[in-house]
Structure 1
Amino acid sequence: MLADEMTSDLRAVRAAALSEAAASGRPVTKALVSKDVRFGSLTALVGGAVDTAGVDGVDPDLRVRPFFAHGGTISIREFVVGALNNEMGMQAVDPELYAAAHSGTRITTPAGMVLDGSLDKVEGPLAADAAADPDGDGVTNEVPTSLVDYLEFYLLNYFKPATCEQNHETARGRRILQQIGCTVCHRANLPVARDRRVADVETVYDPAQGTTTARCARLS
């Protein structure tokens, strides 16, 4: 959710720069900022091209990819389909995701994520449909679309990382992260404008019990 909103912010800056360049007849340079995180700058040229030499921390297409260390995947659904194949050798069936990846269509997943193959490189499943057997093992429909739906929804609503006991050592760690510049990009908290989850499950430290406990809040 967060990465998708940041992508929209950055692409809105690009669109505004292109519009201003077309109206003024001269190049327009704008800073790329979303949720107070800076991604360098870009320059919109009069002819409609964009100079992305100044873009920093994100690919020139301005898509923030939250999965994997190198930022290679856009959505939970793509992550699920890829993990099932790469780690378990099971090919999921997801015709809509396949169409977005191979035909450039625009889809909205059951969990509310919009994927547009005409704007982004979408990672699709190997199986085109339930009858396909891409690994040739004689088994088709190894992971039906309904299970992909379930896994996407489950991971979207999965509880956040726990916050354990906070003491002088954890405070020292935060200070070091700030001092060496990590928190310029790695922010402790960033706002989400539209939360697609149905509940917020948080695990926090309970000093009375000396352990962590879970709290669940239903989201509207």
Structure 2
Amino acid sequence: MEQALTTKGISFGRITADADGTIDHGSVEGVDPDLTIRPFGWKGHQATLRDIAEESLHIHQGLLSNRIQLAVRDGTLDPGPYGMGPWYDVDQDGVSLEIDSGMLTTVVGYLAQLEAPVIRPPRDPGLLDAWAAGRSHFDEIGCSGCHVPTLELDDPKLDARQPAEPDRAAFIIDVAKDGDGPKIEPKYGGYSTSYLVHLFSDLKRHDMGAALATPAPQGTIPARVFLTRSLWGLAETAPYLHDGRAPTVHDAIVLHGGEATRARDAYLALDEPARASVRVFLASLSREPKLFVP
């Protein structure tokens, strides 16, 4: 029996089950054989905010969670990526048990309540015409095939607690209501509705070509393969690409290869005013300005 794998209108290929119970994942596309969507990380290797927060604290802050440390102690986690020391100080920084589960939950709670990026069309009438043209070109040349403008979220509620502690009280965050605004918008009025997330991603992995390949694979994810980067908030995130090699949006587009080659070539085939209009549109994928008082 063969089953198409489609969710939110995105195709992840097909899976086949033979009569003897054997599962064939050979036609699965853009996701691991376990079929779990992993929307975090450049290569789409983390499934939850908690996982990516834990990893980021280690990579960027040098802080190991208690969960990692205790898993090293119990022998259920390879200490190699974390250091050469004994389990109680595997990273050899002189500090043990640095991030407990409650601390990690507060980080998840903070991240889940950040404002959603917005689309801010230019106010200048001349640029507004270019913006509208750029939005059309974005679809016409194939960018939206992977950078899918909008996905629907059925349930906006997130439990930020540690999954291994189900007996504790839930810490529920409604990402459509709680925290800083603006928020994702409801599709319909009324109490029961799905929500529109203008993410500009299909949350799927793609081969981006040899030029963008990382020096090594990430686990089972090949060096050439990356998650479709979400474009919301793009205007605030230069430089671009996984290693910051592209100083401008134009440079980032030109460096697309692999499965994105056709869309890249279609962009380059546009005349300069049309290419500029695409960039004007992409520059509108931003965030609402905020006043910070020191």
Give TM-score scaled by structure 1 length: 0.60
Q: Is the 8 A contact 1:37 1:184 kept in 2?
A: no
Q: Is the 8 A contact 2:117 2:288 kept in 1?
A: no
Mapped to 1, the partners of 2:183 and 2:133 lie a distance apart of 22
The structure-2 alpha-carbon separation of the partners of 1:133 and 1:35, relative to structure 1 and needing over 3 Å to count, comes to same
What do residues 98-155 of structure 1 show as CA deviations (whole Å, max 9, x unaligned)? 59xx769xxxxxxxxxxxxxxxxxxxx969xxx9322122212222322211001111
Q: In the alignment, what sits opposite 2:57? A: 84
1:49 aligned onto 2:29: no
What do residues 193-216 of structure 1 show as CA deviations (whole Å, max 9, x unaligned)? 111132252179xxxxxx9468xx
Secondary structure at the aligned position of 2:29 is classed as coil
Q: In the alignment, what sits opposite 2:182? A: 202
Greater shift after overlay, 156-165 or 146-155? 156-165
The structure-2 alpha-carbon separation of the partners of 1:79 and 1:180, relative to structure 1 and needing over 3 Å to count, comes to same
Give 2:142's aligned amino acid: G
Q: In the alignment, what sits opposite 1:174? A: 135
The structure 1 residue matched to 2:149, chosen from 166, 185, 188, is: 188
Figure out how many residues of one structure are paired with residues of the other and give that number: 156
Runs (5+) with no aligned partner, structure 1:
1-27, 105-124, 205-210, 215-220
Q: Is the 8 A contact 1:85 1:91 kept in 2?
A: yes
Mapped to 2, the partners of 1:182 and 1:51 lie a distance apart of 31
Give 1:177's aligned amino acid: F
Secondary structure at the aligned position of 1:33 is classed as strand
Q: In the alignment, what sits opposite 2:218? A: none
Mapped to 2, the partners of 1:195 and 1:133 lie a distance apart of 38
**Larger relative contact order (C-alpha < 8 A, sep ≥ 6)?**
2
- Per-residue deviation, 1:87: 0.8
Mapped to 1, the partners of 2:28 and 2:17 lie a distance apart of 12
Secondary structure at the aligned position of 1:202 is classed as coil
CA-based RMSD: 3.2
Task: Please list, as runs of the form range in 1=range in 2, the aligned pairs for 1:1-220 lying within 5 A after superposition.
Answer: 28-94=1-67, 132-166=88-122, 167-196=128-157, 197-198=173-174, 199=177, 201-202=181-182, 212=288
Give 2:115's aligned amino acid: F
Mapped to 2, the partners of 1:103 and 1:139 lie a distance apart of 21
Q: Is the 8 A contact 2:41 2:52 kept in 1?
A: no
Mapped to 2, the partners of 1:172 and 1:68 lie a distance apart of 32
Runs (5+) with no aligned partner, structure 2:
123-127, 158-172, 185-286
What do residues 26-65 of structure 1 show as CA deviations (whole Å, max 9, x unaligned)? xx11211101111111211111111222222222221111
What do residues 146-199 of structure 1 show as CA deviations (whole Å, max 9, x unaligned)? 221100111112111132225233323322221232323322221111111322
Between the two proteins, what is the percent identity of the paired residues?
28
The structure-2 alpha-carbon separation of the partners of 1:203 and 1:83, relative to structure 1 and needing over 3 Å to count, comes to same
The structure-2 alpha-carbon separation of the partners of 1:92 and 1:186, relative to structure 1 and needing over 3 Å to count, comes to same
Q: Is the 8 A contact 1:30 1:41 kept in 2?
A: yes
Choose between structure 1 and 2: higher strand proportion: 1
Mapped to 1, the partners of 2:91 and 2:288 lie a distance apart of 44
Secondary structure at the aligned position of 1:64 is classed as coil
